[in-house]
Amino acid sequence: MSRVLIFGAGGFVGSYLCKEFLNNGYKVSGTDKGEGSALPSEVDFYRNDLMQANEVEKLIGQIQPDIIVNLAAISSVGASWNMPQATMAINVIGALNIMEAARKSEQKPRILFVGSSEEYVISENPLDENTQLNANNPYGISKVTQEQFAKLYREQYGLKIYCVRPFNHTGIGQRDSFVLPSFCKQVAGIDKSGKDGKIQVGNLKVKRDFSHVKDVVRAYRMIVESDNCNQIYNIGSGNAYSLEDMLTYIIGLSNQHIVIEVDQNRIRPTDQPVICCYRSLIGKELGWEPQYNVYDALKEMYEYYAR
């Protein structure tokens, strides 16, 4: 039985990815700096600080995984503006700690690093894997740098390192500091109050490509199981949804009258008008297609908060 080790397993995507690998016959180990109580019981959990190179090397040496997936990151563009130093440290130095430990490991595991659509140049056209990289925020810049180091370690040390560029994804468990869980939580809270209410929002005019997290973790597994580690794949729905339309849908799930109010503190220093994924490559080469859409995720999240 192949063993996979997931760094950042305690985060939003971690529990979904653990289930994806478990359901496909893997022995799964998860690690995080904090608790792993939300993970499936079949997962062997280890506390580990990604920023401590010695700890990372010791854990990889102990587990000898066949596959490593790194989900540990500052993963919010908004947060990255507030903590650019920490974003670069965790997203780049953390990745380097994994690569160095894998380089020294006898097992020479496959490694999957998660990038972002934020790496690409601003464009209102769908973005494919050949679109120019020109990140305009600390988060995007950290992911471009991570990919450059992955390329270096592939070429210099022969490691099988896979890089992916997922577009936005959401689902139950994502922190409400992210836009769609925030909308769902606020509207569900108003509905439960039984009174009319007001919701605080940022820029509703932007359009984003959102996927269900379950589709994204399935793509991660399929990519790291594939043969060509040099090919970077986009993961997205292929549709750009406006935040305004998604908020209208969420409000429609409530029985209360809700007023929308723009909060200037929620407006980012830079905000691309449209980000949309051109996803044909992963479908053509690996056979991946979405099984859900963002409205499935919105309904699930709203019902979760409305309980």
Q: Angle at CA 168, nearest 5°, toward 167 and 173?
A: 140
Token pair for 182: 């925030």
Report the predicted TM-score, pTM, of the whole model to 2 decimal places.
0.95
Mean pLDDT of 237-245: 97
Angle between helices 294-306 and 179-193 (to 10 degrees): 40
CATH number 3.90.25.10 given to 176-208+239-275+293-306: yes
Instruction: Identify which of 68, 42, 39, 38 has the alpha carbon closest to the alpha carbon of residue 56.
Output: 68
Confidence at residue 270, expressed as pLDDT on a 0 to 100 scale: 63
Check if the beta carbon of residue 165 is closer than 8 Å to that of residue 181: no
Degrees, nearest 5: CA angle 185-191-193: 105
Closest CA to 4 of 109, 95, 147: 109
Question: In 8-104, at which residue ranges do the beta strands (DSSP E only) sit?
Answer: 27-32, 44-47, 67-70
Query: Does the pLDDT at position 86 exceed 90?
Result: yes
Point out the least confidently predicted range of 225-229, 270-274, 285-289: 270-274
Would you call 98 exposed, middle or buried from its count of C-beta atoms within 10 A (0-12, 13-18, 19+)? buried
Question: Do the Cβ atoms of 239 and 178 come closer than 8 Å?
Answer: no
Cα 57 from chain centroid? 24
Domain spans, the chain? 3-169+211-235, 176-208+239-275+293-306
Q: Tell me, what's the pLDDT at 32?
A: 96
User: pLDDT tens digits, residue range 3-55?
Assistant: 999 999 999 999 999 999 999 999 999 999 988 778 999 999 999 999 999 99
Fold of 3-169+211-235: Rossmann fold (3.40.50)
Task: Say if residues 199 and 267 touch (Cβ distance below 8 Å).
Answer: no
What is the spatial distance between Cα 274 and Cα 249, in angstroms, rounded to a whole number? Answer: 19
User: Same CATH fold, 176-208+239-275+293-306 and 3-169+211-235?
Assistant: no
